């Protein structure tokens, strides 16, 4: 299986406005064989076993449950809210979600790719964390929790993307 690698955001990425606006952004990508539709990718990502744990926690602690059926409807463009997220922007090959507190964004994109000389798909997953304005100083800052959790976030992002790839296989 192809490895998941950090990479720069593509120029056309819906997440790019957060990079340019001073937010923390990241981007991971993997090439998979065959053609994977954006709808199938979104559904696989949000219905993977790993993400189901997050969905369950959000259901318990934030009263924002979600189902596999809703993950498929989100991918198909039939709904604009999913658990703790709402659609901020959508294109045929991209989805940008905003969390209910407005602090984070999740972004998924699929695009055609060459995989060992055969048709394939490049799957991207990225996040943005929007800084908060310090009321005392007026400066934008990420905060203590962000700094503490950044290492976990980087690992978890790869785990989530790997789980989606496994679900698509």
- Domains of the chain, by residue range, sit at 5-168
| pLDDT tens digits, 27-59 | 999 999 999 999 999 999 999 999 999 999 999
pTM reported for the whole predicted model:
0.93
d(CA 168, CA 72): 13
The pLDDT of residue 47: 97
Q: Which fold has domain 5-168?
A: Alpha-D-Glucose-1,6-Bisphosphate; Chain A, domain 4 (3.30.530)
Average pLDDT over every residue of 20-24: 90
Q: With contact defined as beta carbons under 8 Å apart, do 38 and 110 qualify?
A: yes
Q: Report the residue count for the chain.
A: 169
The pLDDT of residue 2 is: 67
DSSP string, the chain: -PPPEE-PPPTT-TTHHHHHTT-EEEEEEEEEES---HHHHHHHHHTSHHHHHHHHHHHHHHS----HHHHHHHHTTS-SEETTEEEEEEETTEEEEEETTSSEEEEEEEEEEEETTEEEEEEEEEEEEPPEEPTTT--EE--HHHHHHHHHHHHHHHHHHHHHHHHH-
């Amino acid at each position: 299986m192809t490895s998941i690698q950090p990479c720069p955001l593509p120029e056309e990425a819906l997440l790019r406005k957060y990079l340019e606006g001073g937010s923390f952004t990241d981007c991971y990508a993997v090439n998979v064989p065959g053609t994977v539709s954006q709808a199938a990718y979104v559904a696989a990502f949000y219905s993977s076993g790993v993400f189901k744990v997050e969905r369950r926690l959000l259901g318990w602690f934030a009263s924002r449950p979600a189902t596999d059926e809703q993950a498929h409807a989100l991918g198909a463009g039939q709904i604009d809210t999913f658990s703790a997220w709402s659609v901020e922007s959508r294109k045929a090959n991209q989805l940008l979600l905003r969390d209910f507190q407005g602090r984070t964004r999740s972004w998924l994109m699929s695009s055609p790719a060459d995989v060992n000389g055969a048709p394939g798909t490049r799957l991207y997953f990225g996040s943005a964390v929007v800084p908060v304005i310090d009321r005392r100083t007026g400066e934008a800052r990420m905060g203590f929790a962000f700094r503490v959790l950044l290492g976990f976030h980087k690992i978890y992002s790869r785990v989530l993307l790997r789980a989606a790839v496994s679900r698509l296989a």
